[in-house]
């Protein structure tokens, strides 16, 4: 089973590794202040089901990518930077990039999942983004994954990771502002950089339209080889879950 949980959403999927297919997927928009209550309800739907493994993707902004040789105190650094109380510290080793992704997850969320699924393993949202090929080899690219109230950004310049961050937004123009600021600070040409979109954004949406006023080289993330059965939604909607499935060892 695959679970993704963030400040504004939670989703789960039943992944058949042998067939490389997802048999079912549910996505929930969740109020930040009701996460504990709603997560209990979501977990109740999964109770008494038998899973060979449980992989959880933590999509929270409290994370920091660090070169492996400097990462000995990565978890303590995340706690120092964000200073959020009641957090459980974790880290992922990303050998492909010689990086460590140190991050934290609210203690209540971690405990709820671990109490129900003691075998659960955790991974942060930045890790699949870095591990799994998005279908585009451009040296300069900005990957954006959109949820209901947040968006995750991963920036590569000259094929090197420059930034990974999760931002809150209320309107499409908020997203445009952040991306223009990022391009300005990192000296990326907004008319040439590849803007790779995934998550809850469509070609006929207001967000896509606003972004297209400023970015000319826009693409939707290409799906991994994982497939979702009986699915009528665009493949990029659930790119984060597909990427998580592709990380299953």
Q: Taking a C-beta distance cutoff of 8 angstroms, is the pair 11, 26 a contact?
A: yes
pLDDT in tens, 202-246: 999 999 999 999 999 999 998 777 878 777 788 889 999 999 999
Residue 157's pLDDT is 97
Q: Specify whether 98 is located in the same domain as 117.
A: yes
Residues 217 and 234 in one domain: no
Q: Are both 228 and 116 inside the same structural domain?
A: yes
Considering the domain architecture, whether residues 112 and 160 belong to the same structural domain is answered as no
In this structure, the answer to whether residues 148 and 41 fall within a common structural domain is no
Closest CA to 61 of 139, 140, 141, 178: 178
pLDDT in tens, the chain (249 residues): 999 999 999 999 999 998 989 998 999 999 888 899 999 999 999 988 889 999 999 999 999 999 888 877 777 777 777 777 889 999 999 999 999 999 999 999 999 999 999 999 999 999 999 999 888 989 999 999 999 999 999 999 999 999 999 999 999 999 999 999 999 999 999 989 999 999 999 999 999 999 999 999 999 998 777 878 777 788 889 999 999 999 986
- The total number of structural domains that make up the chain: 2
Residues 56 and 111 in one domain: yes
Q: 105 Cβ partners below 8 Å, 6+ apart?
A: 5, 58, 60, 62, 87, 88, 90, 122
Residues 172 and 205 grouped into a single domain: yes
| pLDDT for res 32 | 83
Contact 142, 153 (CB under 8 A): yes
> What is the reported pLDDT for 171?
97
Six-digit token pair at 29?
A: 């928009």
* Residue 249 pLDDT: 63
Distance (Å, whole) CA 169 – CA 174: 6
Task: State the CATH number of the domain containing residue 47.
Answer: 3.30.420.250
Same domain, 202 and 85: no
What does the block give as tokens for 203? 């070609």
pLDDT at 232: 76
Residues facing residue 197 across a β-bridge: 144, 220
Rounded to 10 deg, the angle between the 107-116 and 35-46 helix axes is 10
Same domain, 76 and 188: no
Same structural domain, 65 and 143: no
Q: What's the domain range around 194?
A: 135-221
In angstroms, the Cα distances linking 19 to 23, 102, 195, 216 are 10, 32, 31, 38
Rounded CA-CA distance 66/101 in Å is: 6
If asked whether residues 209 and 147 sit together in one domain, one would say yes
Looking at the fold, whether 71 and 178 belong to one and the same domain comes out as no
| CATH code of residue 139 | 3.30.420.260
Query: How many whole angstroms separate alpha carbon 85 and alpha carbon 106?
Result: 8
């Amino acid at each position: 089973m695959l679970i993704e949980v963030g400040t504004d959403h939670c989703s789960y999927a039943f992944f058949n590794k042998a067939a490389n297919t997802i048999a079912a997927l549910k996505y929930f928009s969740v109020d930040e202040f009701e996460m504990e209550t709603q997560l209990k309800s979501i977990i109740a739907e999964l109770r008494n089901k038998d899973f060979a493994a449980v992989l959880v993707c933590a999509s929270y902004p409290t994370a920091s990518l660090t070169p492996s040789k400097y990462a000995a105190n990565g978890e303590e650094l995340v706690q120092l930077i964000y200073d959020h109380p009641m957090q459980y510290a974790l880290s992922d080793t990303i050998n492909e990039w010689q990086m460590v992704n140190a991050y934290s997850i609210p203690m209540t969320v971690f405990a709820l999942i671990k109490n129900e699924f003691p075998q659960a393993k955790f991974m942060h949202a930045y890790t699949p983004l870095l591990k799994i090929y998005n279908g585009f080899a451009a040296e300069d690219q900005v990957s954006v994954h959109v949820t209901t109230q947040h968006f995750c950004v991963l920036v590569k310049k000259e094929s090197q990771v420059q930034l990974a961050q999760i931002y809150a937004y209320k309107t499409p123009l908020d997203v445009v502002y952040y991306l223009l600021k990022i391009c300005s600070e990192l000296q990326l040409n907004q008319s040439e950089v590849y803007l790779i979109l995934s998550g809850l954004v469509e070609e006929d949406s207001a967000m896509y339209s606003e972004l297209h006023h400023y970015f000319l080289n826009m693409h939707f993330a290409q799906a991994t080889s994982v497939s979702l059965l009986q699915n009528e939604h665009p493949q990029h909607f659930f790119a984060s879950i597909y990427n998580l499935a592709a990380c299953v060892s």
